[in-house]
Amino acid sequence: MFSREGFREYASGALWVWPSIASLAALIAGSVMGQIVISPQSPLAPLAFQGTADDARSLLTSISSTVVTVIALVLGLTVVALQLASTQFSPRLLRNFLRDRSTQVVLSVFMATFVYSTAGLYTVGVSGGGRTEEYPRLAVSGAMVLLFASLAMVVYFADHLAHSIQIDAVTTRAELGALKVVQRLPGTVEESRPEPPPWAVSLPALRSGYIQTAHPEALLPLASQYGVSVVLRNRVGEHVITGTTMAFMWRPAETDPVPDAAMFARALDEALDIGFERTLQQDITFGMRQLVDVACKALSPAINDPYTAVQAIDHLSVIFCGMAIRPLGDQVAQDAKGAGMVLVPGRRFGELLAVMCGTIRRYGAAEPIVCQALLRLLNSCSTLVGEDPARRAAIDKQVALIMLDAERRIAQPDDLVAVRAAAAAIEKAAPTVLEEAPKPPA
């Protein structure tokens, strides 16, 4: 189950999967088209290739060599786009470009054209090892159709590539990916997680890598059978090392017999997907981290582009507003009788604000428009968190930190006027919001 899920995530970001499928489909289509014989009286006769066998072989050879050149060109442009995204924005955005379905479709059309035309050279004008003038004319016409489709894909790819490396497209793709994770978030609880008692047994990690997904419900039957509680130390998206403590397991009383820890370690390993990279399957912070990276790199002295940082913060605002109305915390699986429990730790709203906003604040505190953008983000969240005291306290804390850094780093008093006004707007709006804003769903 989990291996299929991991392979599906890998395949969606692999450039070879769809072209391989298209190549196989082209071979099958060529085989079928090669069996179709068109008589001169057939309605399809005008669609069949009208040249000789030598003309058909020359055409297929030209198509094959041309498409190989085009494939090399497209791959070169793709590498340039990846290099630009890595150096200009963030290396963590490369996966978004690799997952781009348009690029995969373009490469698939080129590969299908090449395989279809090259495979046709084995049959067109050749039969039983000797030359013949009989050949599947309709199949050659199919190669011409694929050639025109490939030419259309070249124009489309050039246009798509030019748009895909624009900052608006890059940040929007990261925002949509993070929002999908927010919408797929499992039920979480914000209460404090239980602390392992002194008699708790540690469960070691059997693999090194990043936790990509966690399925506590898969481990719950075993935990219920032995009446144990299992609490993971690491959140989804964090790195674990083989042999270090992955989780703690304990029974209700110290005198209760403890089940085999090795058995639970193997079961825990099966309930987790651990890979060499972070993904957007359940990692709520990964998409946000991409936008934070874009903002921080734009604020670096080498690039010095504060407006790009503002755009990244605007997209972060959409994500935080989507989380402001949802419960955020630990993922808990527990049976109805309370005999077993499995808990996967998660970040609260305040922790996410502190990590994401705090990173940008430290880099951009000297830029007034960046401070204003962060305050707009907090103001938008303030209108949605309702009467939640913990989230409102987290917002107030971030406002205070932004103002402290801005007062210290911004030299000109006139530049501080707009920043102070943005902070004052949050304080003025808070009382009204507390009365009108809906409570977050339970």
- The structural domains of the chain, with segments of one domain joined by +, span 2-165, 188-275, 284-328+348-436
Helices (H), 246-339: 261-270, 284-298, 306-324
Q: How many CA atoms lie within 13 A of 351 on its CB side?
A: 11
* Alpha-carbon gap, residue 146 to 111, rounded angstroms: 10
Check residue 64 and report its DSSP letter.
H
In Å, how far from its chain's centre is CA 210? 14
pLDDT, tens digit, 9 for 90 and up, residues 62-113: 999 999 998 888 888 888 877 877 787 888 887 788 788 888 999 999 999 9
In Å, how far from its chain's centre is CA 262? 33
pLDDT, tens digit, 9 for 90 and up, residues 363-372: 999 999 999 9
Is residue 1 pLDDT above 80, yes or no?
A: no
pLDDT, tens digit, 9 for 90 and up, residues 328-352: 889 898 887 778 899 999 989 999 9
pLDDT, tens digit, 9 for 90 and up, residues 270-318: 999 998 888 888 898 998 999 999 999 999 888 889 999 999 999 999 9
- Residue 193's pLDDT is what? 81
* Alpha-carbon gap, residue 217 to 232, rounded angstroms: 13
Comparison of pLDDT for 273 and 442, the residue scoring more: 273
Check residue 86 and report its DSSP letter.
I
Amino acid 180 reads K
Strand ranges across the sheet with 239-240 = 239-240, 209-214, 272-275
**Three-state secondary structure call for residue 241:** coil
Is-contact 67 113, C-beta < 8 A? yes
- Residue 437's pLDDT is what? 39
* Alpha-carbon gap, residue 229 to 379, rounded angstroms: 40
pLDDT, tens digit, 9 for 90 and up, residues 163-202: 888 888 889 999 998 998 888 877 667 677 888 999 999 9
* Alpha-carbon gap, residue 28 to 45, rounded angstroms: 22
Q: State the pTM of this model.
A: 0.83
Is residue 436 pLDDT above 50, yes or no?
A: no
Q: In terms of Cα–Cα distance, which of 173, 162, 191 is closest to 77?
A: 162
Is residue 3 pLDDT above 70, yes or no?
A: no
Is-contact 85 173, C-beta < 8 A? no
Is-contact 83 160, C-beta < 8 A? no
Going by pLDDT thresholds of 50, 70 and 90, the confidence category of residue 130 is low
Going by pLDDT thresholds of 50, 70 and 90, the confidence category of residue 203 is very high
Residues in the chain: 442
User: Which whole number is the average pLDDT over 3-29?
Assistant: 84
- Residue 438's pLDDT is what? 43
- Angle at 93 (CA atoms; ends 89, 97), nearest 5 degrees: 115
- Residue 258's pLDDT is what? 85
- Residue 166's pLDDT is what? 87
* Alpha-carbon gap, residue 31 to 83, rounded angstroms: 40
For β-strands 272-275 and 239-240, DSSP reports them as unpaired
Kindly report the number of other CB atoms within 10 A of residue 141's CB atom: 19
* Alpha-carbon gap, residue 303 to 251, rounded angstroms: 55
Domain 188-275 -> CATH class: alpha beta
Which burial class, exposed, middle or buried, applies to 294 when counting CB atoms under 10 A from its CB (0-12, 13-18, 19+)?
Answer: buried
Which burial class, exposed, middle or buried, applies to 430 when counting CB atoms under 10 A from its CB (0-12, 13-18, 19+)?
Answer: middle
Is-contact 280 286, C-beta < 8 A? yes
- Residue 46's pLDDT is what? 82
Comparison of pLDDT for 55 and 245, the residue scoring more: 245
pLDDT, tens digit, 9 for 90 and up, residues 390-435: 899 999 999 999 999 999 999 899 999 999 999 999 887 664 433 4
Is residue 48 pLDDT above 50, yes or no?
A: yes
Residues 6+ apart with CB under 8 A from 52: 133
User: Which whole number is the average pLDDT over 348-363?
Assistant: 92
- Residue 439's pLDDT is what? 46
* Alpha-carbon gap, residue 93 to 105, rounded angstroms: 20
- Residue 131's pLDDT is what? 58
Report the range of poorest mean pLDDT among 7-11, 211-215, 268-272, 345-349.
Answer: 7-11
User: Which whole number is the average pLDDT over 4-30?
Assistant: 85
3-state helix, strand, coil in the chain (%, to 5): 60, 10, 30
